Structure 1
Amino acid sequence: MNQTRKEVNMKLKQHPLIISFLLPVIITTVYFAFRGMAPFGQSSILTVDLGQQYIDFFAYFKHTLLTDPSGFLYSFSKGLGGDMLGTWAYYLMSPLNLILLFCSTSQLPSGILILTVLKYGLSGLTFAYLLKTNKFNSAFIPIFAISYSLMGWVIANQLNIIWLDAVIILPIIYLGLQRLILQRKVGTYITWLAIMLIVNYYFAFMIAIFMVLTSWFLNINFSTSRRQFWQNQWRWLWSSLIAGGISAIITIPTFYSLLTSKINYSENKLNLKIEYLPLKFFGKFFTGSLDFKQLPSGTPNVFVASLVLILFGYFYFSKQFSRKLRITHGVITLILFISMWFEPLDLFWHAMQMPVWYTYRFAFLFSFWLIVTAAKVFNTVLVEGLSLSALRKTLVISTLIIVMVGFLLPHLEYLTLTNYIWGIVYFALTATLIILVQKFQLWQVDYLPGLLLLLVGAEMTFNLVNSLNNLAYLSKDEYNVPASIIQQQANRLPQKSNDFYRVASTFMRTKNDALTGNYNGTSVFSSTLESNSSKFYGHLGDPDGDSFIAYTNGTTFSDALLGVKYYWSADAVKNPITKKAVTSPLETQTTRPDLNSYPVINKDKYVSTHKNNNALPIGFLAGSNDFKYQATNSPIAFQNELFTQITGQRQSLIVPTKLPTLNYQNLYPIKKLTGSVLRKRQLLNPASFNFTLQAKKGHSYYLTLGPDVSSKEVAIYVNGKKLKQYSNYRHTVIANLASTDKDKDIAVLFVVKKNNAWLQNVNLYQLNNQRLTTALKDVQTRSLKLTHVSNTNISGRITVHQKHQDLLTTIPSSTGWHVKVDNHPIENQTWGQMFLKIPLTKGQHQIQITYWPQGLTAGIVITSFSLLLLGGLLILKRRK
């Protein structure tokens, strides 16, 4: 037995880095395997944004690097088209993502699991390297490394895999800061801060603020003179600026991208507000203190091992550390603590953009601060022993906090009584072990590292299991089957080098299906979505948000305008043996009777592909008319104005239709639809009203619905089938009621679910599709003849027969687009509050439209200069 203990202790001393890497890898892999996550079973690691957003970006990442590098700058798969450099900077710049290049689309869930496990391991490795470089006792390094790699913030944000690089890189940046101040060596700090800025500028901002605080802390405590203090501060400043300059190739164009997206639509007022009772903060130090409700809003995830908490508290009571050290350290601790419940500081850490979901994203810095301090204290205690007086004070304060959390337990919905008790058990075991070790002076015994590692490892693993068990995950097939179907359908589309069209569908796995299928889409979910796209969809009558647009509520006109040449609809699926209907793997999001007028050109088990012969090209000529629409929350008026701009016809295309007679069931009658409040006669009984729409051949019928007409209040049925609409919209949308090839009566039923329901902006309209076809055939004769199409380069020929005409495009307008007519640059113009417009004179013209992100040239110059400057400084230093 003694021989075994010695062997374990020897391995801990000799291989602390390897052990610190392998332990979190083994723990997480065993857990994922036990849960049956791919590649170990039929479940997956995909949940929330990881399954609804990131995995589609990873599919796009593979396609861009392997087949189409132009997608690095711009992509028409991002909604109607958008800048991608900012998207790469936020989602995809981690070099670890290269692992995913070896995974097929169906293997991406397995690849993401491997990537997640690797990031857990690398977090332990870099923290262990920080301790080893600081001459920490090697045998005890894995104890603190596992507390760091499996801390509560990492567990809670495992699903935000793109953020975990910050946890990996932070210890190296901190090590670089130590070397900069204590040894006057700048290389590590500059290199890794620059890497962090390139990998994820958002979390680099948080780390940079933390470096400001810790540079002040290190400099005050370890500078021997005022002159040295200011020299160190100057060295830190110019090193930080060089690191920023090196990353400019990414950060500068990303900044311009944010000006048109996140920064542009965010409105965050500075409120002097306490966000929650600060005492609730301490509930997160108990195991399993995470559930799904904590993801959209909750207290910070700061769980660390009980050993860390005891040693951290001990630091402030022990006279083994200087008073100045404890005071300056306490200032930083206090700033971090207050930031996690005082809104102005919380807002500042998030770059003045309050997060939507996943609150207190900077909390990993607080956990790092706890663990790195605890490690420093432990290293001191190993040599000098414990102060029993300081330990006693620490345990008394800790006990008071535990009791206080017990009183708050009924108000901490994320913390169960069982987990509260387990937290006490682990804390008591840790405190007892420390007391016994001090009492019997066992600091140097061979088995202590293994015993502490077992205790801390068990506590961290218990928290991991309890926390992750509270989250639901997609099955492997819930991703694989629809993603594979989407890719198969995309591969069947015509592939021509000089053709451009968009694709829409009645179903969605996610709004980023176009990124997975690699086609020109109409929807997207991205934190870097341009605000103009959201505003345009809101005007058009389709669902929009600050970070998403969903083309689920189109009309035959908007289909044509946006060049939606192909439309996929989900077919009913039948069991091949019983011939009975079974659930389709494709979830239908919208009802589109308009597709009845689009011929089916391809059909398989799951999908019918419809062709829209009215789809307009990406560019076409129109008269030089001003776009006169003023925002009125009327998508019908907006589409009519777009129609006028394109065709020159002043008569509205989509017109109101007379409301048929309404029949009421348990409702008080109303005089009109829009603006009325439906009130039940008998509150406990079902209520509804219905009418019969006499639909004409070749006409489409639409119903506008205000954002307050939710499916929770009113359900709409057409001919007995529920009208499906995407549920999340903040402006008036257009619902497609009917479109027939013959005169037909359509039964429409409104079922009222609440005692009172407001019919906000509810109006009935019709569109003559024959008139639309005739008008658009004329527009199609004035189309741009494309000679080349890619994500960043569109060229073609056009002949203008009038003195002045505009070439209208459906390319989202952006300062990144550069237009040349007959090889002469012209200034960008916009039409329809969204798209690129090119004024032309009479004659034949060659058009070239290229994309180059704003700020990229300046970024390349600054990065090059910064690298040269750094190289020159290093050469000069060596010569000295």
Structure 2
Amino acid sequence: MKIKITAYVKKHYPLMLSFCIPVILMLGYFIYRKMAPFGQNTLLTVDLGQQYIDFFAFFRNSILHDPSNFFYSFNKAIGGEMFGEFAYYLLSPFNLLFLFFPGKSITAGVMLVTLLKYGCSGYTFGRLLKKQQIQSNILLPLFSTVYALMGWAIANQLNLLWVDALVFLPLIINSLLQLLKNQHGTSYSLWLALMFISNYYMGYMIALFLILFFIWTETDNFVSIRHTIKDSFLFISRSLLSAGLACLVLLPTLFSLQSSKGEYTTNVIHAKIEYPPLQMLSKLLVGSFNFKQMSTGLPNIFVGSLVLFGFLLYFLNRTFKWQTRLCSFLITAFLFLSMCFEPLDLLWHGMQFPVWYPYRFSFLVSFWMIYLAALNYQSSLDISAAKVLVLALLYAGVIFLSWRNMKKLSFISKETLICSTLFATATLTLLLIRPGNVRSNRINKILLLFLVVGGETFANAILSLNNISYLSQKEYADPSEALANDSKTLSKIDPGFYRTGQTYSRTKNDGIAHDLNTGSYFSSALEKSIPDFYGQLGDPDGDNYVTYSNGSLISDSLLGMKYFTAPKDSSELDQKNAQKKALTPLTVKPEIQRYQLVKNQQLTKIYKNPLAASVGYSANEALKNVKLPINDPVNYQTNWLNAATGTWPTTKYFTAQNFNEVVFQNADKTVNLTGSLLKKKNKKDPAQVIFKFTPKTNDPYYLTFGPGMEETNVETYTGSHSLYHYGTFRHTVILNIADHSKNNEVTITTRFKKDSLFLENFVLYRLDSQQANKKLQQIKKQSWHVKEINNRHLSGKINIKNNNQIFATTIPYSSGWTVKIDGKKVPTFKLQNTFIGANISKGQHTVTMKFTPPYFYQGLLISLLSILILTVIEWRSKKQQNM
């Protein structure tokens, strides 16, 4: 047994090292940074902490408890299809590991998955080099380590969903080369299909690169035009077959994209260079990454000095045909032009400019550089003195240009310049040494190169990641534990179907992480109609997020926000929890005192809204044609309620109020507040405006204001406390600032962060709560009594009392929903440009709604046919081999 193990290790140690070295290096760094489970820090940062970690928790819950989430979920904002979300975020086979990490231990799961992806990337690249006989022995893990820890991998460590591309790309390339060599085989179609399924976005980029790689391969192995045509047919047909295999995922996802990311496709393309191209060279240096590079940075193309030198020398290496080198140069020029020329940049990103993380396809450029460098060093690691001199001068030019641009490029520092120079010098010195035919000298040179290259790669990881801050385990665990307890308690209090508002949160994806229908959501694939609706309702919205933080008495009830979770402040915490930090409020909501306190938790309180309607209700047919204003949440909510109750447009709920006093401190005075641009008198001194009013009733009071009041422009206080509200928004929002405050003065202070402050739509309103309650009670009585089967199947009874009524819902419109009334399918239509509606007659009815992802069955059929075709191809191939 021992002999067998020794023989196995001796044969496979290069691939074993290809996996282990990246894992050991990065594990060492994580332990040094005290990342969980080795300390009180986590790998959570930016989107990984604010978005992906919640998706991973959602994935775990879907697999173990509610598979209907794969198709549709009401945890997604106010409801939305999830097939596209799974295709973009959650279909990586590595995600299955999260099943073993419940609750707050999921942060340890993130580390495990991250390390495995580093290791598997190194392994698959090493396998490519070995199968294609490009490198072997100790040199193989050297290039594999560089590949696994390339600058793109380090910079996108937090984008775990994309890193699968590094794992699958070498497997796809190797299987393509094998296909073209043997003229048969199914692995290429299978690996490419798996990439499409794992992450179609990265798969699209790889598919574009495969066209270039195929052209290069055919140029290198050109025999005749007839042979090239035959290979082209093989390449195209098997590539299409891989897309067919993945159609079960791709077709429904394509439909989903048409209503989400597809709505933002760029129609106007400018033929321009996006930045001075020579600045790109600075990204070849060690540690050329920091936080600013995430949002508006340059392409991450660090591959280390050994690879860079080998890549450049490849074009001078006469052991390769001049036609091949010319083709390589043209492809290289195309790739580098793609990283600065807008039309090509857009092409790689599916005709959409990335929101953060620019030049996401640059991992393909790094792969190309490493692959050509490995080919160049295939015959020898020795370089002539003349070539070393040329390389030294070129690298010195990169250092000089980077030094000249230090003020423009924040990621460049003296440390990065010195570190890069030292590693490049050491690499060139070792390449210059000629060990001759003495085997021990050659091994020593390789080992020294291994130390230098490994050290340079590891130094890049350290310097780059040290520029990023991370969430502590406590910052993640405490609010997550509170949310989990709230979710568990609510499921016991009320097992029915409802939505739950928040006045505290950890992220916008608390709902999907903890199985709460919170109304908030953050995703790159969010349907455009949802943020459009939130923006008009008076809640914060963006292209890829919505936050239900500014609900009014009216919107809470119409949207069925039946429960609310609120944090206790420090004075309310018992002795057991006194040392815990109070949860951070998301918004102020004085009117929550109108709701019934149903549970007092350790860190939170749970309230019940007695006026909350169901997800469906009987509405007047006027709702089909109601005119809803733009950027006016007060009148939007008024018209919605009036139309639904058949009183449109007569009843008025909100009344504008005057402030009793406005105090301007170091700011221009104005009589008309709304639409005013207030400027500092003395720009060097602080400025603020204080607004005072005394409510004459115990009704709720609301303040509306536009994007000029974003947190980047102003600090806002009520009394001496922060006026909590979600800080970024692009439409007018509405905020509850007082309730049951009759004859008590309310003070709002706005402190300038800039030289001016724009008071767009800055109006104080009083809500006639008695009149609003009367109408909301009417809606509640006419609600659909839902019996929830699961996320994609709702059924219940509704009593329609009049003939001029419709069945209205607050479920976002989608052609995937079918509505049956008393067992008969009925046509649906769109209400408020957002929701599903259907005609219904007077009387008591059973209404059933079911969701099926559009094109799901068509995609399934194409995938099954593709599997059948692939099976026949494999059978015929084996039959020919046996003849």
Q: TM-score, normalised by structure 1?
A: 0.95
Q: Which moved more, 1:317-326 or 1:54-63?
A: 317-326
Could you list the per-position Cα deviations for residues 653-698 of structure 1 after superposition, in whole angstroms to 9, with x for gaps in the alignment? 4323231343434444322221122244555555444454332444
State the shift of 1:103 in Å: 0.7
Aligned to 2:3: none
Aligned to 2:345: 346
Note if contact 2:518-2:548 (Cα within 8 Å) is conserved in structure 1: no
Note if contact 1:597-1:741 (Cα within 8 Å) is conserved in structure 2: no
Note if contact 2:653-2:771 (Cα within 8 Å) is conserved in structure 1: no
3-state secondary structure, aligned to 2:526 = coil
Note if contact 2:282-2:398 (Cα within 8 Å) is conserved in structure 1: no
Using a 3 Å threshold, how does the CA distance of structure 1 residues 223 and 687 change in structure 2: closer, same or farther? closer
Aligned to 1:333: 332
Q: 2:518 aligns with which of 521, 531, 540?
A: 521
Note if contact 1:478-1:585 (Cα within 8 Å) is conserved in structure 2: no
Aligned to 1:323: 322
Aligned to 1:724: 724
Using a 3 Å threshold, how does the CA distance of structure 1 residues 331 and 252 change in structure 2: closer, same or farther? same
Residue 492 (1) aligns with residue 489 (2): yes
Note if contact 1:797-1:844 (Cα within 8 Å) is conserved in structure 2: yes
Aligned to 2:89: 91
3-state secondary structure, aligned to 1:747 = strand
Aligned to 2:34: 36
Q: 1:409 aligns with which of 399, 406, 411?
A: 406
| Cα distance in structure 2, aligned partners of 1:851 and 1:877 | 42
Aligned to 2:208: 209
Q: TM-score, normalised by structure 2?
A: 0.95
3-state secondary structure, aligned to 2:760 = coil
State the shift of 1:287 in Å: 0.8
Note if contact 1:285-1:303 (Cα within 8 Å) is conserved in structure 2: yes
3-state secondary structure, aligned to 1:703 = strand
Aligned to 1:432: 429
Residue 162 (1) aligns with residue 161 (2): yes
Could you list the per-position Cα deviations for residues 7-28 of structure 1 after superposition, in whole angstroms to 9, with x for gaps in the alignment? x999776511111101111111
3-state secondary structure, aligned to 1:121 = helix
| Cα distance in structure 1, aligned partners of 2:7 and 2:440 | 13
Q: Which moved more, 1:679-688 or 1:589-598?
A: 679-688
Residue 458 (1) aligns with residue 455 (2): yes
Using a 3 Å threshold, how does the CA distance of structure 1 residues 336 and 646 change in structure 2: closer, same or farther? same
Aligned to 2:443: 446
Structure 2 residue identity aligned to 1:100? F
Aligned to 1:5: none
| Cα distance in structure 1, aligned partners of 2:8 and 2:808 | 74
3-state secondary structure, aligned to 2:782 = coil
| Cα distance in structure 2, aligned partners of 1:31 and 1:675 | 53
CA RMSD of aligned residues (A): 2.4
| Cα distance in structure 2, aligned partners of 1:747 and 1:387 | 78
Note if contact 1:317-1:393 (Cα within 8 Å) is conserved in structure 2: no
Could you list the per-position Cα deviations for residues 517-546 of structure 1 after superposition, in whole angstroms to 9, with x for gaps in the alignment? 112121011111111110000000000001
Structure 1 residue identity aligned to 2:555? S
Could you list the per-position Cα deviations for residues 697-718 of structure 1 after superposition, in whole angstroms to 9, with x for gaps in the alignment? 4411111101122344444433
Could you list the per-position Cα deviations for residues 246-278 of structure 1 after superposition, in whole angstroms to 9, with x for gaps in the alignment? 000001100111111111134453111211111
Using a 3 Å threshold, how does the CA distance of structure 1 residues 687 and 119 change in structure 2: closer, same or farther? closer
3-state secondary structure, aligned to 1:138 = coil
Could you list the per-position Cα deviations for residues 377-436 of structure 1 after superposition, in whole angstroms to 9, with x for gaps in the alignment? 111226xx6566555544443343333333333432201112111111111111111111
Using a 3 Å threshold, how does the CA distance of structure 1 residues 579 and 178 change in structure 2: closer, same or farther? closer
Note if contact 2:573-2:602 (Cα within 8 Å) is conserved in structure 1: no
State the shift of 1:510 in Å: 0.3
| Cα distance in structure 1, aligned partners of 2:378 and 2:675 | 71
| Cα distance in structure 1, aligned partners of 2:18 and 2:201 | 27
| Cα distance in structure 1, aligned partners of 2:322 and 2:46 | 46
Using a 3 Å threshold, how does the CA distance of structure 1 residues 243 and 854 change in structure 2: closer, same or farther? same
Could you list the per-position Cα deviations for residues 620-653 of structure 1 after superposition, in whole angstroms to 9, with x for gaps in the alignment? 1011113433443111111111111221123344
Gaps of 5+ in 1: 1-7
Aligned to 1:4: none
Aligned to 1:764: 764
Residue 557 (1) aligns with residue 554 (2): yes
State the shift of 1:744 in Å: 3.8
Residue 508 (1) aligns with residue 505 (2): yes
Residue 636 (1) aligns with residue 602 (2): no
| Cα distance in structure 2, aligned partners of 1:676 and 1:431 | 64
Structure 1 residue identity aligned to 2:423? Y
Residue 59 (1) aligns with residue 50 (2): no
Structure 1 residue identity aligned to 2:271? L
Could you list the per-position Cα deviations for residues 555-596 of structure 1 after superposition, in whole angstroms to 9, with x for gaps in the alignment? 010000111111111111249799998773421121111112
Number of residue equivalences: 872
Pairing of 1:147-186 with structure 2 (within 5 A): 147-186=146-185
Structure 2 residue identity aligned to 1:785? H
Note if contact 2:660-2:694 (Cα within 8 Å) is conserved in structure 1: no
Structure 2 residue identity aligned to 1:724? Y
State the shift of 1:42 in Å: 0.7
Using a 3 Å threshold, how does the CA distance of structure 1 residues 722 and 497 change in structure 2: closer, same or farther? closer
| Cα distance in structure 1, aligned partners of 2:419 and 2:396 | 15
3-state secondary structure, aligned to 1:527 = coil
State the shift of 1:179 in Å: 1.2
Using a 3 Å threshold, how does the CA distance of structure 1 residues 49 and 23 change in structure 2: closer, same or farther? same
Could you list the per-position Cα deviations for residues 735-754 of structure 1 after superposition, in whole angstroms to 9, with x for gaps in the alignment? 21211175544334444554
Give the share of equivalent positions with the same residue, in percent. 36
Residue 100 (1) aligns with residue 91 (2): no
Aligned to 2:13: 15
Aligned to 1:240: 239
Could you list the per-position Cα deviations for residues 468-499 of structure 1 after superposition, in whole angstroms to 9, with x for gaps in the alignment? 11110111111111101100011001458972
Note if contact 1:794-1:848 (Cα within 8 Å) is conserved in structure 2: yes
Pairing of 1:562-581 with structure 2 (within 5 A): 562-574=559-571
Aligned to 1:791: 791
State the shift of 1:320 in Å: 2.0
3-state secondary structure, aligned to 1:657 = strand
Q: Which moved more, 1:513-522 or 1:782-791?
A: 782-791
Aligned to 1:3: none
State the shift of 1:337 in Å: 0.6
Note if contact 1:573-1:606 (Cα within 8 Å) is conserved in structure 2: no
Q: Which moved more, 1:764-773 or 1:356-365?
A: 764-773
3-state secondary structure, aligned to 1:43 = coil
